[in-house]
Amino acid sequence: MENQQEKEMTAEELAAQKEQMLKFYTESLPYLEAQLKYEEVLMKIDETRFKRTSIQMQYAMMMNAQNELEEEEEGSDNDIDNEPSAPEQGKRKLRKG
């Protein structure tokens, strides 16, 4: 009979422990929900920062490419002006003698 009472006590203790766990989790829900909301807001902030940074990087790359093109165009214009001109045909120089 003692064994059966111990088992019953164990079953009662188990039921009491389950009740305590349920109470703990139920009381913790408001805190967990607040934490979830906090984490969601942080995630939105991080996503927005990432998008803004990506746009800034794309703009910088676009402007850099445009500046390089302009520099190349300016450089090629200057090269044409600085090239020595070919001698004109039909004009001869006299030799001094």
Q: Name the pTM for this structure.
A: 0.51
Reading the block at residue 24, the tokens are 């703990």
pLDDT confidence of residue 82: 56
| Concatenated DSSP letters of 56-90 | HHHHHHHHHHHHHHHHHHHHHHHHHHHSPPPPPTT
Segment 22-80, tens digit of pLDDT: 999 999 999 999 999 999 999 999 999 999 999 999 999 999 999 998 888 887 766 55
The CA-to-CA distance between both ends of the chain, in Å, stands at 145
Segment 65-85, tens digit of pLDDT: 999 988 888 877 665 555 555
* SS3 label, residue 1: coil
More confident residue, 82 or 89: 89
